[in-house]
Amino acid sequence: MATSRDQRRECVRLTVMMRLSTMLRVDATADPEGRSWLAQEILGRWAHDPGSERFFRSSTNFLYRFQSSGTGHFLRFADGAERRREDVVAEMDVVRSLAASGLKVASPVRSGAGRLVETVETNLGTFHAVVLPALEGSTLEIDELEAARFRAWGAALGRLHVAMRQLPDDLIGRRRTWRDDLAIAARHIPADARAMRRELSAVSTVLEALPDDADSIGLIHFDFELDNLVWRDGEIGVLDFDDCARYWYEADVVFALGELFDGRFDASDPSYREFLAGYETVRDPGPMWQGAAPDFVRLAELLRHARVLRALDLSPDDQQPDWLAPLHRKLADRLAAYEATLG
């Protein structure tokens, strides 16, 4: 069934990272059926079934689903002003290494020219693109999870952390750090946003005091939420490594369970305890576990809303499409509600 543009806008995450101006510019290339001349132009670098591409989602990247010899794939591309090519290349190298270790991940498909990442110059600017196979299985909502699935989710993250610890140091070193994220947040929080500025300073102070040994910090997924997991026959496939970074492993647990915590950590939550029990079947979390979890919740909220500030570079007006006003309002309301919690 065809997907209308209004329906497609509903696929946008409220944690959108890209600027609304970027989203608006690229969205204008798509028709009401979800076909985009820009996506077609970029996809021309890979083998595909002509006319099969359809809009899937916009968040950090633009995502289009398509068929290649009847098999499902995804085209993922980002504006060069939003993502650096070297970061995309490093991400793909991480994914390929994890796939080689036996983890179920969507490993990139080479283009006709043999490249994993294609940088395409278009009339709308420069875009960095990859193609990933669609993993077969189901995505689940958090209210569909019983205790056993929370344990399976936690064990999957534990296995990922074990595999990530085995990656070469030079590969891990090509990914950003928590300090990079705080510096980025500082650039996007205006001087007059005093409450967020105070929160940034407070969180930075707490994080600087945390252990930074190899048992505590390493490469993490950063976005191990349910919409990046595919469940099939008792196995969990992992998607979307574009935010993987060098952080505390405990932070990855907190970030994964963001929907469960909803801004406030609760160590007694039964679902959290099941998740952690699953994790511990694979990897020992170490002595610092739980101690910094409330601070990682604060960090996640701070980074999320700094990204919202960055995204809100447009104000809706009569010349812009109908989807922009409600999206802008949702993002602005979320930002205002967060600032209110800071006092």
The answer to whether position 222 is within a domain reads yes
At 104, which CATH number?
A: 3.30.200.20
Banded pLDDT at 287 (limits 50, 70, 90) = low
Q: Residue 260 sits in which domain range?
A: 142-314
Q: Structure pTM?
A: 0.92
* 75 and 42 Cβ atoms separated by less than 8 Å: yes
Residues 98, 195, single domain; the answer is no
How confident is the prediction for the chain on average, in pLDDT? 92
Residues 159, 286, single domain; the answer is yes
Each residue's pLDDT tens digit, 84-114: 999 999 999 999 999 999 999 999 999 999 9
In whole angstroms, what is the distance from residue 100 CA to residue 209 CA?
A: 36
Last residue of a domain, one of 111, 133, 155: 133
| Domain count across the chain | 2
Residues 152, 77, single domain; the answer is no
At 164, which CATH number?
A: 3.90.1200.10
Each residue's pLDDT tens digit, 170-227: 999 999 999 999 999 999 999 999 999 999 999 999 999 998 888 899 999 999 999 9
The answer to whether position 238 is within a domain reads yes
Residue 235 CA to its chain's centroid (Å): 21
Residues 46, 195, single domain; the answer is no
pLDDT of 11 over the 50 cut? no
The answer to whether position 334 is within a domain reads no
Residues 147, 287, single domain; the answer is yes
Banded pLDDT at 16 (limits 50, 70, 90) = low
In whole angstroms, what is the distance from residue 133 CA to residue 112 CA?
A: 15
The answer to whether position 204 is within a domain reads yes
The answer to whether position 1 is within a domain reads no
The answer to whether position 38 is within a domain reads yes
The strand pairing partners of 98, in sequence order, are none
Number of other residues whose CB lies within 10 A of the CB of residue 195? 14
